[in-house]
């Protein structure tokens, strides 16, 4: 909660209570994540939090995390996308086919995968926005259609192997020095941004939180960034897929908080009729949400194909449900209008942690499904319960 | 006050159907009700008045078991016997039925199904549909409602649905009926049916608690009135002993020297809006606005009066570009022809439209105050296409301060605020755009007297700055009290035009009813 409370005819006592409550709500997720980490660390004798495992964990969560970023926008806008799993498979498959069978270079196939994802997103968005077919139906159709196209194009075969440079996307690491430089740059940016923000608010005569609160937060974030970078650098360095997730998350957090498009998505999901009468173009904004979701599915498809070094007909199967679950665990409301990308990333991390931790404990795979199912239900229950 | 209790006392305790004594209810640190006493005689219609937040709803929630026994202090007696409701069910079993503003009917089900929902007639565990429909018909006949019990509820008007809700309560053998703002969404003819029904029920001995902001209704319908203010009982009296002004004074706790703070102001000759031969068709091609022409001058308050369903809202939503159907005619703004196809076009032309249904069309209830306020004017708080948060908060702070908004913080979700404060946010949101023409559709519906007065003040300030205001209002005193000029609509046409000085309730109503015979007794407020 970096925003301070500005007040109009306020009762200060109530104000304090409110800010505390808000903070608690957004920290519940972090607490849950820490709890999961502690439990797995105990059962794996600390191995869960080792540099090697953290590196694996962040790489494993990357595909779902990329999808969850887009899915947050879709759900906030009041819709759903069930086709992303198939779209991941299709875009990844097309990239593999173009490279393995037709010898295209890596840059071209990545670009094509993203563009095809965006075009198919546009196609679905058109049905939802301009033809008023419910997104559930359109994307359920898309789920079947895209999987069908993938099976047709690949003739049911596994397409492999990818070129060395394509493999790099999902399997390489940043050099140690570059990792530290990036960490430092982001810390400098954080400090600079906080100072600028405070001085601007001061100039406008707005209330600002005590310096210790603001800079305390900066200090905590900085330590956290350095710690993660250090831990990952103790192994091979920051995994490139994780860097892609962080970059995409940063871009879309910025878009959702700081641009008119982002704001409009929340308004449309919150109350479409009021948004329309406020002069917001509902159809065009919804169309863009689906284009973005499609494009991000393309990115996820490339990541997955690269990590597996192959495209299979079943690639990405059920990923839409993992992505939706990540959003929901992260506090996104399926009713629309409410949700945060940061929350969805944490949600994806929680889901990946459960897979990862349980397999480290040599628990049979079927338990992962059961536990994840329960966590999804309980997360939503906590969310509903905390509102009462 | 004493008069009321003496009258009851003469006949002894048993004449009170309901007594609530020394009711105190706290919400964490806020005291919502403070030693409230509320007594209702058997078979009377007892009005409960108070500004929003005075504690009316809280009191009724205690009575209906929403807040169970033990969460409040005090005593409730029904027919002289103490009761302790632990749930809504227990309160219902004791014969208390509450009819909320938001109706609790299932739209896809028929009238009969709704009437007996939850207590269907059974024959060995199988629903006896014939009996349900026969019983439903019997009840409808008894009330004098000409509705087929097989009609789906969603096909009825809101007013008829409200009546069905009352019948439903009666089928459950309710002795005490609580109506919360029942006429807020009713057409005049439905109000009339409702009034007749309530009068009829009174003669049959049903006790009724009537919560309403419309004091005209209270004066013509109720036998007694209790006034709450700031969680305290201010007064209980027989209706013969009080006047509308007296009720208002007690409600707000201060003398409102004038209900409508109209101030004479200069009106320029410059026409900022001219509408010529404007017609609107709905999606099925039916013409709902018929060849309407009018103009609005800079700094003028133009009132639009008429009965509900006259087409006023449709006319202005269409002018604003928010109506789905086809339209024909010419619209000039500042003398220049326009082509408004969507709300964004209208906003660019300097129009602003404050809807009659702020929760549905005006606000995103889950969003905070700041984000709602800047929604239509984001470009004013953006730099290089990026929202400047500090500037956004500053703009919101400035405009809401002018509106005298009362809120815990600008980060509060607007859904938590009272109707009056929500309306101030809708106004803030549109004023942030500096509109030339402000269309207010029922600007004071469902908000308390104090907030109403503040909104009238804001209207006055705006016309002084040269804004042209169109005020659609179904409350005759309001439209007459605030407008410079009044247009009256009936069935999609403009049927009358009056200058402020010429307007009387009678001549406006004559135009509003389009010359057709229409009973006027219930139309005032």
Q: Do A267 and B393 touch (CB under 8 A)?
A: no
Residues 6+ apart with CB under 8 A from A190: A218, A221, A222
B391 touches chain A (CB under 8 A): yes
Report the pLDDT value the prediction gives residue B189, as an integer from 0 to 100.
Answer: 74
B519 touches chain A (CB under 8 A): no
In-domain check, residue A165: yes
Q: Do B371 and A197 touch (CB under 8 A)?
A: no
B384 touches chain A (CB under 8 A): no
**With contacts defined as CB-CB under 8 Å, which chain B residues touch A279?**
342-344, 346-347, 376
Q: Choose the final residue of a domain: A191, A207, A238.
A: A238
B32 touches chain A (CB under 8 A): no
Could you tell me which residue, A53 or A1, shows the higher pLDDT?
A53
In-domain check, residue A117: yes
**With contacts defined as CB-CB under 8 Å, which chain A residues touch B360?**
271, 273-274
- Measured N-to-C along each axis, helices A240-258 and A341-360 cross at an angle, to the nearest 10 degrees, of 150
Report the pLDDT value the prediction gives residue A292, as an integer from 0 to 100.
Answer: 98
Give B122's pLDDT tier (boundaries 50, 70, 90): confident
In-domain check, residue A363: no
Q: Which residue of A has its CA nearest to B361?
A: A274
- A88 and A113 belong to one structural domain: yes
- A233 and A289 belong to one structural domain: no
Report the pLDDT value the prediction gives residue B244, as an integer from 0 to 100.
Answer: 83
Measured CA distances, B231 to A169, B28, B102, B418, B445 (Å): 66, 15, 23, 15, 23
Looking at B434-513, list the stretches that DSSP marks H as alpha helix, in order from N- to C-terminal side.
449-464, 476-482, 505-512
**With contacts defined as CB-CB under 8 Å, which chain B residues touch A7?**
409-410
Q: Which residue of A has its CA nearest to B358?
A: A274
Mean pLDDT of chain B: 86
Three-state SS at B86: coil
Residues 6+ apart with CB under 8 A from B287: B279, B280, B281, B492
- A271 and A295 belong to one structural domain: yes
Distance from CA of B221 to the nearest CA of A (A): 36
Q: Which of A120, A38, A125 is nearest to A77 (CA)?
A: A125
Contact B78, B92 (CB under 8 A): no
**Chain segment A22-81, per-residue pLDDT in tens:** 455 567 888 889 999 999 999 999 999 999 999 999 999 999 999 999 999 999 999 999
- A93 and A153 belong to one structural domain: yes
**Chain segment B238-281, per-residue pLDDT in tens:** 999 998 888 878 887 755 556 788 888 999 899 999 999 999 99
Residues B278, B291: Cα–Cα separation, whole Å: 5
Q: Do B346 and A279 touch (CB under 8 A)?
A: yes
- A168 and A180 belong to one structural domain: no
CB contacts under 8 A, B 421-460 vs A, are: 429
Average pLDDT of the residues in A2-24: 41
Could you tell me which residue, B117 or B143, shows the higher pLDDT?
B117
- Measured N-to-C along each axis, helices A12-43 and A341-360 cross at an angle, to the nearest 10 degrees, of 20
Residues A179, B392: Cα–Cα separation, whole Å: 36
Q: Do B342 and A281 touch (CB under 8 A)?
A: yes
Q: Do A277 and B353 touch (CB under 8 A)?
A: yes
- A196 and A290 belong to one structural domain: no
Q: Do B353 and A204 touch (CB under 8 A)?
A: no
Average pLDDT of the residues in A227-248: 96
- A85 and A168 belong to one structural domain: yes
Q: Do B386 and A258 touch (CB under 8 A)?
A: yes
Q: Which residue of A has its CA nearest to B401?
A: A8
CB atoms near residue A251 (< 10 Å): 12
- A84 and A156 belong to one structural domain: yes
- A306 and A344 belong to one structural domain: yes
Contact B268, B289 (CB under 8 A): no
CB contacts < 8 Å between A and B, how many?
A: 119
Q: Percent of chain B, pLDDT > 70?
A: 92
- A134 and A265 belong to one structural domain: yes
Q: Which residue of A has its CA nearest to B318?
A: A277
Q: Percent of chain A, pLDDT > 70?
A: 93
A194 touches chain B (CB under 8 A): no
Distance from CA of B294 to the nearest CA of A (A): 23
Distance from CA of A91 to the nearest CA of B (A): 32
In-domain check, residue A146: yes
B401 touches chain A (CB under 8 A): yes
Average pLDDT of the residues in B351-362: 92
B66 touches chain A (CB under 8 A): no
Measured CA distances, B188 to B217, B297, B308 (Å): 12, 31, 7
How open is the CA angle A156-A161-A164, to the nearest 5 degrees? 150
Of the candidates B317, B364, B407, the beta carbon closest to that of A267 is on B364
Give B201's pLDDT tier (boundaries 50, 70, 90): confident
In-domain check, residue A20: no
In-domain check, residue A33: no
Q: Which residue of B has its CA nearest to A277?
A: B343
A139-148, B79-88, B174-183, B368-377: least confident range: B174-183
Residues A357, A39: Cα–Cα separation, whole Å: 9
**Domains located in chain B, CATH noted:** 1-95+175-255 (3.40.50.300), 104-174 (no CATH), 270-350+435-525 (3.40.50.300), 360-432 (no CATH)
Of the candidates B347, B391, B397, the beta carbon closest to that of A8 is on B397
- A182 and A324 belong to one structural domain: no
Residues B314, B493: Cα–Cα separation, whole Å: 12
Could you tell me which residue, A376 or B159, shows the higher pLDDT?
A376
Contact B331, B337 (CB under 8 A): yes
Q: Which of A2, A4, A8, A206 to mutate to test the interface with B (most CBs of B within 10 A)?
A: A8
Q: Which two tokens stand for residue A52?
A: 């090697």
- ipTM given for this complex: 0.88
Q: How many domains does chain A have?
A: 2
Structural domain of residue A262, as residue ranges? 61-172+257-349
**Chain segment A290-341, per-residue pLDDT in tens:** 999 999 999 999 999 999 999 999 999 999 999 999 999 999 999 999 999 9
Report the pLDDT value the prediction gives residue B217, as an integer from 0 to 100.
Answer: 85
Distance from CA of B440 to the nearest CA of A (A): 14
- A71 and A157 belong to one structural domain: yes
In-domain check, residue A21: no
Q: What is the pTM (predicted TM-score) of this model?
A: 0.81
Q: Do B408 and A11 touch (CB under 8 A)?
A: yes
A6 touches chain B (CB under 8 A): yes
What is the 3 state secondary structure string of B428-449?
HHHHCCCCCEEEEECCCCCCCH
CB contacts under 8 A, A 90-149 vs B, are: none
In-domain check, residue A31: no
A5 touches chain B (CB under 8 A): yes
**Chain segment B468-510, per-residue pLDDT in tens:** 999 999 878 889 899 999 999 988 999 999 999 998 878 887 8
**Chain segment B66-116, per-residue pLDDT in tens:** 899 989 999 999 988 999 999 888 998 898 988 876 667 888 999 999 998
């Amino acid at each position: 909660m970096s925003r301070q409370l500005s007040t109009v005819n306020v009762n200060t006592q109530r104000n304090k209570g409110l800010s505390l409550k808000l903070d608690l709500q957004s920290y519940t997720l972090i607490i849950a994540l820490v709890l999961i980490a502690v439990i797995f660390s105990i059962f794996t004798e600390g191995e869960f939090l080792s540099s090697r495992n953290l590196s694996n964990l962040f790489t494993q969560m990357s595909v779902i995390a990329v999808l969850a970023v887009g899915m947050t926008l879709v759900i906030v806008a009041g819709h759903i996308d069930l086709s992303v799993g198939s779209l991941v498979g299709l875009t990844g498959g097309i990239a593999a086919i173009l490279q393995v069978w037709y010898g295209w270079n890596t840059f071209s196939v990545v670009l094509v995968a993203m563009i095809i994802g965006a075009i198919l997103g546009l196609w679905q968005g058109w049905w939802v926005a301009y033809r008023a077919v419910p997104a559930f139906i359109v994307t359920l159709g898309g789920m079947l259609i895209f999987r069908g196209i993938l099976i047709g194009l690949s003739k049911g075969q596994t397409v492999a192997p990818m070129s060395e440079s394509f493999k790099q996307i999902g399997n390489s690491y940043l050099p140690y020095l570059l990792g530290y430089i990036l960490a430092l740059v982001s810390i400098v940016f954080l400090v600079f941004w906080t100072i600028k923000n405070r001085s601007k608010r001061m100039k406008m005569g707005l209330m600002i939180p005590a310096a210790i609160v603001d800079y305390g937060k900066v200090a905590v974030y900085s330590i956290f960034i350095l710690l993660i970078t250090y831990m990952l650098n103790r192994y091979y360095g920051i995994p490139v897929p994780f860097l892609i997730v962080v970059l995409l998350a940063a871009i879309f957090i910025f878009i959702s908080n700081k641009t008119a498009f982002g704001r409009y998505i929340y308004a449309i999901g919150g109350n479409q009729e009021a948004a329309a009468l406020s002069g917001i173009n509902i159809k065009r904004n919804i169309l863009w949400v689906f284009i973005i979701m499609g494009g991000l599915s393309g990115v996820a498809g490339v990541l997955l194909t690269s990590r597996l070094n192959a495209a299979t007909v079943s690639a990405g199967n059920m990923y839409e449900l993992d992505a939706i679950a990540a959003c929901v665990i992260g506090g996104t409301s399926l009713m629309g209008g409410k949700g945060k990308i940061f929350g969805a990333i944490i949600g994806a991390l929680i889901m990946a942690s459960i897979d990862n931790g349980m397999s480290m404990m040599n628990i049979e795979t079927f338990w992962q499904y059961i536990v994840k199912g329960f966590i999804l239900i309980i997360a939503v229950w906590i969310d509903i319960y905390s509102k009462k | 006050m004493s008069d009321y209790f003496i009258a009851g006392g003469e006949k002894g305790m048993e004449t009170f159907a309901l007594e609530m004594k020394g009711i105190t209810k706290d919400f964490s640190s806020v005291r919502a009700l403070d030693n409230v006493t509320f007594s209702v005689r058997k078979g009377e219609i007892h009005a409960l008045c108070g500004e929003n937040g005075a504690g009316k709803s809280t009191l009724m929630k205690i009575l209906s078991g929403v807040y169970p026994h033990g969460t409040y202090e005090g005593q409730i007696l029904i027919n002289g016997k103490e009761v302790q409701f632990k749930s809504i069910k227990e309160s219902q079993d004791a014969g208390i039925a509450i009819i909320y503003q938001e109706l609790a009917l299932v739209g896809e089900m028929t009238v009969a199904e709704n009437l007996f929902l939850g207590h269907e007639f059974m024959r060995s565990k199988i629903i006896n549909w014939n009996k349900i429909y026969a019983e439903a018909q019997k009840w409808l006949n008894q009330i004098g409602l000409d509705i087929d019990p097989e009609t789906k509820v969603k096909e009825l008007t809101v007013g008829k649905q409200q009546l069905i809700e009352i019948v439903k309560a009666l089928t459950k053998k309710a002795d005490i009926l609580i109506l919360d703002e029942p006429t807020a969404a009713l057409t005049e003819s439905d109000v009339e049916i409702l009034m007749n029904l309530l009068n009829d029920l009174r003669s049959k001995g049903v006790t009724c608690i009537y919560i309403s902001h419309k004091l005209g209704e209270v004066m013509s319908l109720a036998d007694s009135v209790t006034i709450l203010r700031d969680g305290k009982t201010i007064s209980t009296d027989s209706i013969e002993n009080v006047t509308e002004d007296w009720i208002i004074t007690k409600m707000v706790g201060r003398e409102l020297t004038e209900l409508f703070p109209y101030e004479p102001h200069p009106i320029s000759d410059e026409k900022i809006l001219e509408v010529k031969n404007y017609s609107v068709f709905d999606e099925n091609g039916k013409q709902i606005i018929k060849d309407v022409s009018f103009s609005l001058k800079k700094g003028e308050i133009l009132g639009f009066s008429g009965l509900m369903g006259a087409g006023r809202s449709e006319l202005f939503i269409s002018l604003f570009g928010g109506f789905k159907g086809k339209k024909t005619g010419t619209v000039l703004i500042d003398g220049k022809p326009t082509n408004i196809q969507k709300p964004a076009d209208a906003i660019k032309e300097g129009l602003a439209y404050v809807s009659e249904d702020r929760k549905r069309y005006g606000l995103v209830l889950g969003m905070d105050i700041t984000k709602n306020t800047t929604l239509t004017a984001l470009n004013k708080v953006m730099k290089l296409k990026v929202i400047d948060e500090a500037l956004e908060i500053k703009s919101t702070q400035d405009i809401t301060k002018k509106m005298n908004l009362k809120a815990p913080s600008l980060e509060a979700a607007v859904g938590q605020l009272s109707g009056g404060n929500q309306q101030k946010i809708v106004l803030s949101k549109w004023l942030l755009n500096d509109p030339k023409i402000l269309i207010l559709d029922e600007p004071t519906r469902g908000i308390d007297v104090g907030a109403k007065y503040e909104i009238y003040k804001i209207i006055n300030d705006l016309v002084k700055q040269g804004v042209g205001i169109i005020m659609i209002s179904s409350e005759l005193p309001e439209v007459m009290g605030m407008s410079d000029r009044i247009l009256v609509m009936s069935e999609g046409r403009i049927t009358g035009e009056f200058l402020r000085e010429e307007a009387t309730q009678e001549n406006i109503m004559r135009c509003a009813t389009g010359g057709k015979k229409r009973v006027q007794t219930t139309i005032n407020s």
